[in-house]
């Protein structure tokens, strides 16, 4: 059965220093015959909201696709934007690695007036088609939180929200970018009562895409595969130099792959929440088994709903889904 989806994202293909996993997630959704991508919305995160909008529009224009793209939140509900933009937009220059992106920024400027509001677009599509639309949320959750606030019926009308966010036990990470850029939004979404599956850093950092894998994709003689290869190589080189890994993690694509075939992943149900206070804890995430806490003194009533948290993934099967989907599209 074909699954109808919305992708809410912060794509950065072709942008120096920006992660490209959103673009690969979009490409997989476009290429796989069992996915119907009906709307793309952009949020400030990996890239500023308008930059992500330009990336998504450029990608669709290259393929002559008429999938609607809507701009959403340019900043978080409460979290100050400036420190995050300084870190995310200027880190590559500070690392002295701008040279890795020669002539890859092919994004064209799009008329800002052509975009509708993301929260409205998401809310109307989901609420007019109850239990039929899944939302793949692979950026900060500001747009989804706005949608929940504007459309009270949204949480129970959406088929599922698949979120890339949170980190529980990865060395060096007290928090992840998606939740920490807007902790209040993450808290709202996680406690909305919607049917949620979460792909945290704990599992997404077990994924891996290498230059060898890109060489396989490059054999496809079509614009989608070539766009992914061309825009991914600089980020992969940056990732290899700064993270000291053999390629790059492909966090976001896991959420689309889950909708295609969840059988190559292992997950468990947890209560999940995000800390909103504390100099060292704000934006960090916690999970625990329902009725599994031994000490709850001083805590508010615990959430009744649980969240499906992905804990293991077979990376080779994930790559096979990507390779096969892109090869089918190329034909």
Q: Supply the pLDDT for residue 120.
A: 97
Identify the CA nearest to 67 among candidates 34, 19, 29: 29
Range of the domain at 7: 3-330
Stated as kind and residue range, the H or E segment containing 273 is strand 265-274
CB atoms within 10 A of CB 110: 18
Q: Supply the pLDDT for residue 108.
A: 53
Angle of helix 211-218 relative to helix 223-243, nearest 10 degrees, comes to 170
Mind listing the pLDDT tens digit of every residue in the chain (331 residues)? 899 999 999 999 999 999 999 999 999 999 999 999 999 999 999 999 999 999 999 999 999 999 999 999 999 999 999 999 999 999 999 999 999 998 655 555 555 555 579 999 999 999 999 999 999 999 999 999 999 999 999 999 999 999 999 999 999 999 999 999 999 999 999 999 999 999 999 999 999 999 999 999 999 999 999 999 999 999 999 999 999 999 999 999 999 999 999 999 999 999 999 999 999 999 999 999 988 888 889 988 877 789 999 999 999 999 999 999 999 998 7
Q: What is the CATH number of the domain that holds 211?
A: 3.90.245.10
Q: Supply the pLDDT for residue 102.
A: 83
Cβ–Cβ under 8 Å, residues 224 and 13 = no
Please give the model's pTM, rounded to 2 decimal places. 0.96
Give the Cα separation of 49 and 74 in Å (integer). Answer: 5
Alpha helices by DSSP H, listed for 128-262, are 142-150, 154-157, 177-181, 183-190, 201-204, 211-218, 223-243, 253-260
86: exposed, middle or buried (Cβ count in 10 Å: 0-12, 13-18, 19+): exposed
Cβ–Cβ under 8 Å, residues 193 and 166 = no
Residues in contact with 87: Cβ distance below 8 Å, sequence separation at least 6, in sequence order: none
Indicate the number of domains in the chain.
1
């Amino acid at each position: 059965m074909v699954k109808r989806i919305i992708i809410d994202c912060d794509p950065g293909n072709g942008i120096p220093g920006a992660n490209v996993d959103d673009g690969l997630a979009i490409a997989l959704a476009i290429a796989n015959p069992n996915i119907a991508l009906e709307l793309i919305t952009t949020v400030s995160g990996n890239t500023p909201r308008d930059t992500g909008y330009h990336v998504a529009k450029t990608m669709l224009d290259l393929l002559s696709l008429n999938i609607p793209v809507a701009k959403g939140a340019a900043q978080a509900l409460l979290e100050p934007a400036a420190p995050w933009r300084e870190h995310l937009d200027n880190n590559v220059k500070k690392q002295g690695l701008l040279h890795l992106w020669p002539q890859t920024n092919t994004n064209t400027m799009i008329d800002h007036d052509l975009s509708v509001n993301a929260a409205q677009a998401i809310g109307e599509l989901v609420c007019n088609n109850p239990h039929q639309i899944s939302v793949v949320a692979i950026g900060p959750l500001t747009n989804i939180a706005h949608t929940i606030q504007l459309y009270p019926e949204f949480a129970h009308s959406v088929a599922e929200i698949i979120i890339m966010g949170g980190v529980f036990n990865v060395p060096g990470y007290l928090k992840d970018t998606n939740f920490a850029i807007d902790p209040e939004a993450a808290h709202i979404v996680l406690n909305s009562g919607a049917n949620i599956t979460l792909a945290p850093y704990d599992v997404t950092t077990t994924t891996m895409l290498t230059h060898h894998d890109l060489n396989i994709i490059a054999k496809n003689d079509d614009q989608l595969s070539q766009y992914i290869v061309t825009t991914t190589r600089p980020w992969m080189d940056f990732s290899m130099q700064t993270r000291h890994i053999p390629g790059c993690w492909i966090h976001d694509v896991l959420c689309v792959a889950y909708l295609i075939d969840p059988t190559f992943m292992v997950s468990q149900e947890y209560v999940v929440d995000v800390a909103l206070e504390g100099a060292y804890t704000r934006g960090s995430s916690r999970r625990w088994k329902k009725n599994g806490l031994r000490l709850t003194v001083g805590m508010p009533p615990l959430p009744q709903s649980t969240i499906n948290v992905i804990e293991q993934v077979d990376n080779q099967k994930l790559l096979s889904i990507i390779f096969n989907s892109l090869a089918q599209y190329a034909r």
